[in-house]
Chain A
């Protein structure tokens, strides 16, 4: 059997990634991606850098208008007709104000299926996404038009295939800023009174970026001034690295550490060995089947 045979499927993922990076076309691909990203970034940034009030481009104003209509139907009942928020009769918040939350918050909340929320709960659960991409963009454009807020990040900001993305540094940042709630390998964890920090496995980099930027639900905000875009990109690089990595020791059993390990130790470890013990102490099969008494005795 050669060393690169099919038996070593476990490592293929990390290797494919690396192979892709070393591929002769990789540099060209990266260049193209960067060029494209720059181009689209310019396209996206140029108009939006102007104040929305000045927005002369018809395409954008129709998008805002479309968003306003969608908002009035789907969101206004909780967030108010102009996104100013709503309060219940008893004074508790029905839906928070969306003035200044920015397009990123809308893209995250609606794009991950958290909004519209359905019924009030400790935390908005993740549901199937209710709007199309265009509709989400329209909603985001409308909410962004209310007041300046965080923009939807450009792909280059969370594209970790560019040179310089440092997963190790990202890990350090992650353990300092994120692991306390999301667990050191991003498995999530419990918060107070039914809230929880979600598992980050499989979450799109864009949404991770937006979550840091906007602080959805109970999550605090990590803005670009204090957690710079390159810091965020490193964090995403770390998460990708850890999540794509196979578990070298075998089954990951949830990657949550000692609780599941203890259960395995008792149930599978000791349980399996006791099963062997039960086999060891019996005699091999008797020629006569009338062995009721002896079997009853060995199980007393």
Chain B
């Protein structure tokens, strides 16, 4: 083989099955010679005609039984209806139908499978064979021919010489993914400042979630927990994603403890109403809604990753992977005695993101 020209393709030098380094390993030889393929003794079904017959009957029996179960599954389908009825769940009917269908079909399939394997294990007569492996590397002739073909073709294109063609083609191909990315642009709008705001605002009443009743400060007992949505939430369109999105940002939990148990941070002294205090329900770790409030300890636990926040101490993280305190909603009372927000949250709710707090 001549030294290849720089433009020609070659195979890597190390392709032989053995390299010098490893040759040493086999040098010592096996301490025990290979006694050759182990010839297993014959099976009962090979030597005993009655065992053979019995196995045959078993296989036939399994296949026949499988047919019976297939028919049974159709019967079960027709027999066990799951008609819904007024006022009562049909869960029991579904249970029966599911069980009957699954058992019959499952047994049918299982019997077909076991029958086939049993047939193979006890009645088929192939002995164990040794098959030779062919080397996976092509023979040297073929490899050289392939190289020659490739290099001829490459030469005919002038790929190596015509650098302008080559480079401009690579350039065009390299740009090709761009439109694919650009075409995906309309997958969603840009975030803008939407992550910084919720529909909470000055004077927005706090509504008890689900019932959407406003909450009178006087009605909130010590140790109380109320899951809260903003009154403005109800003004959002019924259809479309707005309500769902707001449910992912705005939910608030309202609790009441003794005012002296609170230790509000500077500037937050008037954010509570006589121990009534409200925090965002969205965990600052990965955004699970949390309201696992412990009345006695004032701990708030996230069920997803066990971040724990102290609601008596400004929603501070006291355990777990969360890095930020729960955002607090400043509260006030309107002239009818109902709880309202002083403003929106003063920081973005939910998990940390790259540009959080830069606006």
Direct A/B contact, Cβ within 8 angstroms:
yes
Binding site for B on A (CB under 8 A): 1, 3, 7-8, 10-15, 17-18, 21, 169, 172-173, 176-177, 180-181, 189, 191-193, 195, 197, 215, 217-223, 225-228, 231, 241, 245-250, 279-280, 282-288, 290-291, 293-294, 297
Task: Give 15 A-B contacts (CB < 8 Å), ordered by A residue.
Answer: A7-B100, A180-B289, A180-B292, A192-B294, A195-B294, A220-B224, A220-B294, A221-B224, A225-B216, A246-B91, A284-B118, A285-B43, A285-B44, A286-B44, A287-B44
Question: Roughly how many angstroms separate A249 CA and B95 CA in the complex, as a whole number?
Answer: 6
Across the interface, which residues of B come within 8 angstroms of A223, CB to CB?
219, 221, 224
Stretch binding the partner chain, chosen from B2-10, B82-90, B187-195, B326-334: B82-90
Across the interface, which residues of A come within 8 angstroms of B209, CB to CB?
176-177
Across the interface, which residues of A come within 8 angstroms of B79, CB to CB?
1, 3
Stretch binding the partner chain, chosen from B15-23, B147-155, B157-165, B296-304: B296-304
Across the interface, which residues of B come within 8 angstroms of A12, CB to CB?
92
B55 touches A284 (CB 8 A): yes
Question: Roughly how many angstroms separate A183 CA and B146 CA in the complex, as a whole number?
Answer: 66
Residue B45 interfacial (CB < 8 Å):
yes
A220 touches B293 (CB 8 A): yes
Across the interface, which residues of A come within 8 angstroms of B226, CB to CB?
222, 226
A12, closest chain B residue (CB)? B92
Q: Which of B6-53 contact A (CB under 8 A)?
A: 38, 40-48
Q: Give the interface residue-count category, chain B.
A: 35 or more
B43 touches A283 (CB 8 A): yes
B225 touches A245 (CB 8 A): no
B220, closest chain A residue (CB)? A226
Across the interface, which residues of B come within 8 angstroms of A231, CB to CB?
210-211
B43 touches A245 (CB 8 A): no
Across the interface, which residues of B come within 8 angstroms of A195, CB to CB?
294, 297
Question: Roughly how many angstroms separate A279 CA and B118 CA in the complex, as a whole number?
Answer: 10
B219 touches A225 (CB 8 A): yes
Tell me whether A11 and B43 are in contact in the complex, defined as CB-CB below 8 angstroms, given that A220-B224, A226-B224, A248-B95 are known contacts: no
A221 touches B95 (CB 8 A): no
A282 touches B213 (CB 8 A): no
Question: Roughly how many angstroms separate A126 CA and B351 CA in the complex, as a whole number?
Answer: 38
Question: Roughly how many angstroms separate A17 CA and B90 CA in the complex, as a whole number?
Answer: 12
A173 touches B38 (CB 8 A): no
A293 touches B91 (CB 8 A): no
B211, closest chain A residue (CB)? A231
Residue B338 interfacial (CB < 8 Å):
no
Extra A-B contacts (7), CB below 8 Å, given A250-B98, A284-B55: A8-B92, A18-B88, A221-B225, A284-B122, A285-B43, A288-B42, A293-B38
